[in-house]
Chain A
Amino acid sequence: MRRVEIDPITRLEGHGKITIFLDDDGSVANAYLQIPELRGFEKFVEGIPVEEIPRIMPRICGVCPAAHHMAAGKAVDAVYKADIPSVAKKLRELYYMAHFIHSHAAHFYALAAPDFVLGPDAPKASRNVLGLIEKVGLEIGGEVLKQRAASQHIQILVGGRATHPVWNIPGGVTKALTAEKRDEILELSKGQLEFSLFGLKLFSDIVLKNKEYLDLITGDVFEQVTNYMGLVDENNKVNFYHGKVRVVDPEGNEILKYSEPEYLDHIAEHVEPYTYLKFPYLKDRGWNGFVEGMGTSLYQANPLPRFNAADGMATPKADEEYQKLFDTLGGKPCHKLMANHWARLVEMVYSAERMIELISDEEITDPNVRIIPSTTPKEGVGIVEAPRGTLTHHYWTDENGIVTKANLIVGTTNNNASISMAVKKAAEKLIKPGGEVTDGLLNMVEMAFRLYDPCFSCATHSLPGQMPLVVEIKSPDGELLNKISR
């Protein structure tokens, strides 16, 4: 048996490794995605005052710190049963919309687009954002840089910091928005909308109009049938900050709709010995392995799954594009994984439109952005849609608000099983017996995880050790007292 390793997998957030096993005839026997890195947030936050949580948790991931800031923010409000001022909700959502644009733009332009603009088998030295800028020219490249900078800047204007914000606190946010900043943001957000629409045009020109790429999207190499999860508002429209979690089956029927405190009734996580990352699944159905199709207990959470799980977008232009996506790809739900790239760009349009709505709201500069909670803290769950999937934070505290326990189910983790299966399928379909395993081919395998925009920094917030094959119990002096082998 031969083994082919891709180590590390690249153009993603965090660490990962793919190992492909080939039979003697050169066909793929198996493929594994391993996540080798972990950290341990849910343990080491024990003992910390809960109001510090929203400023600590962003360090789970520097690429989507705002997602953790928001989920943690909502959870700590819930810990105090604090009903925060409506302006605070709007400010948080505003901040979050800018974050989505930054995160999606970074993924699309810096990580994913090189595969399309330069081609999956372009030389690896140029198959990246710098090569991309060279190819598309400084004008477009410069605009991308400028607009990504603007989305980061909007977050700074609203919440003080883009990476690792410190501004959510139980009861609201720590700083109000001035009228001056409001005006600046309004200006910038128009540019953000234009930029988002430009992204769709680019996608249409470069990807949809290119037969080879279109085939890649509609073909069966990158296809997978599972359940789909996403946060929806009261009209079942996609929402990133508010609402309930909705899950639909592979045929699009709603099978679950739950609010934050109920997540434990519906989601469970499975452990495999070859990776540090757990595999969430629908609890009611029980873990039934790495299988797709109607009966599977696996679900995906990501832009396309969000689209599948909802009935539309809450803003006009985005909704139009939402319909177009499904019309083009043969209806809803859509199982074509590569369409995640497209959905991601549509979500940027939604974020920009929603941003304009929020910043135009008269209340947005209301100075009363926070209340001091008065109830005894206890327990709280916060759920938001992270750019990479539904994100759940859960904290328990003592009566002084000191964290006693924490539990997290992170965006990318939801997709762990799905990504593993996608990688395997791509390897099976692409690597042919007798054929040469080229760099370009392996990059196509990598495109299977890249389309998820996975963030293994996020996913690996937990920090276990290795399996103690041999357990040695030592005295404080280092003397061996007992040794148990498993």
Chain B
Amino acid sequence: MKLKAGIYWGAGCGGCDVAVLDVHEKILVVAEKMDLLFWPIALDFKYKDVEAMDDGYLDIAMFNGGIRNSENEEIAKLLRKKSKTMVALGSCAHIGGLISMANFHTKETIMSRVYLESESTDNPDSVLPLEKWNGGKEELELPRFHQMVKTLDQVVDVDYYIPGCPPVPDQIVSALSQVWEGTLPEKGSVIGAGTRTLCDECPRIKEEKTITSFKRTVEIIPDSEKCLLEQGLLCLGPVTREGCGARCINSNVPCRGCYGPLEGVHDQGAKMLSALASVLEPKEEKEIDELIGQIADPLRTFYRFSAAASILRRKKV
């Protein structure tokens, strides 16, 4: 029997949906195994169609994008209710994703930048979008924008995670085939990725030397065979789950950690900090500060994709 499935995006970029399309001709296999009953980017079903479903009607819902506003949260809850299995697809749903760097700012400073300060904006009356707008007889509502980005499992119970920004299309197919073949691992598992670190699948030569200086990618043209971290380019490979095929590394660019942390690691950024401390040479405070001072923007490099899933989750207000 065909599985009933839904795909939805919260606060994301659509790249995860494109990744589903990027399975190319395998989309026909997917369509053979699953009846897609909700997928706004490609299909015309509306929220009310989902609301009309019985609870648990869908066998699987794949949710990509983070939880940024009340609409994202409501639909996440709705889909949870209507589905037997809930999958977080992609970095945003899994660990907050790149957009959760917004958690290092307050909602108000962002709003102010966009509507009041932006150089191209002309807004003499300081008009701001309203949650409830009343234009005489016509009333309109906008979803409430939350103070912070949340991961999917911070608002609903999640059964499986497919990591990546976006996930590698073949990995999506292999994860989905586990669904229709009934070979899913235990609830809460990451599927569609490996269990080791990216360094383990990275083809570059590692000499396990210590790091004596940090460079920015704009400053050097790195050797294309040697480990980037050993060349001084901060690379999150040591604390990132394998599975992407070292996509960025193969472009001669260091990893920023989109596949998320390894099993059992709660805070990917703190883990990177810790891993780095092990391979630095200096022992004196002054020398250490000088060396780590060369890391441009450690905060948003260590937490490029995982701020929402970190222990502290946001800038304290």
Question: Do chains A and B directly touch (beta carbons under 8 Å) in the complex?
Answer: yes
User: A residues engaging B (CB < 8 A)?
Assistant: 1, 6-8, 10-15, 19, 21, 29-30, 32, 34, 36-52, 55-56, 58-63, 65, 80, 106, 110-111, 124-125, 127-130, 133, 138, 142, 145-146, 148-149, 152, 159-167, 169-171, 174-175, 263-264, 267-276, 278, 280, 283, 287, 370, 372-373, 394, 400-402, 407, 409, 443, 455, 457, 462-469
Q: State whether the Cβ of B130 lies closer than 8 Å to any Cβ in chain A.
A: yes
Known A170-B218, A463-B102: A43·B131 in contact at CB below 8 Å: no
Known A21-B137, A110-B21, A133-B28: A36·B251 in contact at CB below 8 Å: no
B144 touches A466 (CB 8 A): yes
Contacts of A267 in B (CB 8 A): 120
A59 touches B145 (CB 8 A): no
B197-243: which residues lie under 8 A (CB-CB) from chain A? Answer: 216-221, 224
Q: Quick one: closest A residue to B138, CB to CB?
A: A21
Known A62-B166, A124-B45, A400-B296: A275·B105 in contact at CB below 8 Å: no
Contact of A62 among B17, B43, B128, B129 (CB under 8 A): B17
Q: List 27 A-B contacts (CB under 8 A).
A: A10-B44, A37-B69, A37-B71, A42-B113, A43-B110, A47-B104, A47-B297, A49-B296, A58-B13, A59-B13, A62-B13, A62-B17, A63-B17, A106-B18, A148-B21, A163-B22, A164-B15, A165-B251, A174-B251, A271-B115, A271-B121, A276-B142, A462-B110, A462-B114, A463-B114, A466-B131, A469-B130
A175 touches B130 (CB 8 A): no
Contacts of A12 in B (CB 8 A): 40-41
Contacts of B97 in A (CB 8 A): 59
B42 touches A110 (CB 8 A): yes
Known A11-B41, A19-B140: A409·B120 in contact at CB below 8 Å: yes
Known A61-B14, A161-B247, A464-B114: A407·B218 in contact at CB below 8 Å: no
Measured in the bound complex, the distance between the Cα atoms of B119 and A36 in whole Å is: 23
Contacts of B31 in A (CB 8 A): 130
Contacts of A469 in B (CB 8 A): 130-131
> What does the 1/0 interface line of B114-149 toward A look like (CB < 8 Å)?
110011111100011111010101101011110100
Contacts of A21 in B (CB 8 A): 137-138
Known A62-B166, A268-B122: A464·B110 in contact at CB below 8 Å: yes
- Report the contact-size class of chain B (Cβ under 8 Å from the partner): 35 or more
B12 touches A1 (CB 8 A): no
Q: State whether the Cβ of B165 lies closer than 8 Å to any Cβ in chain A.
A: yes
B24 touches A146 (CB 8 A): yes
Q: Quick one: closest A residue to B31, CB to CB?
A: A130
Q: State whether the Cβ of B27 lies closer than 8 Å to any Cβ in chain A.
A: yes
B121 touches A268 (CB 8 A): yes
User: B residues engaging A (CB < 8 A)?
Assistant: 9, 11-19, 21-22, 24-25, 27-28, 31, 36, 40-48, 68-69, 71-72, 97-99, 101-102, 104-105, 107-111, 113-115, 118-123, 127-131, 133, 135, 137-138, 140, 142-145, 147, 165-166, 216-221, 224, 247-248, 250-253, 256, 296-297, 299-300
Contacts of A457 in B (CB 8 A): 12-14
A466 touches B251 (CB 8 A): no
Known A47-B297, A401-B218: A37·B11 in contact at CB below 8 Å: yes
Measured in the bound complex, the distance between the Cα atoms of B117 and A464 in whole Å is: 12
Contacts of A401 in B (CB 8 A): 216, 218
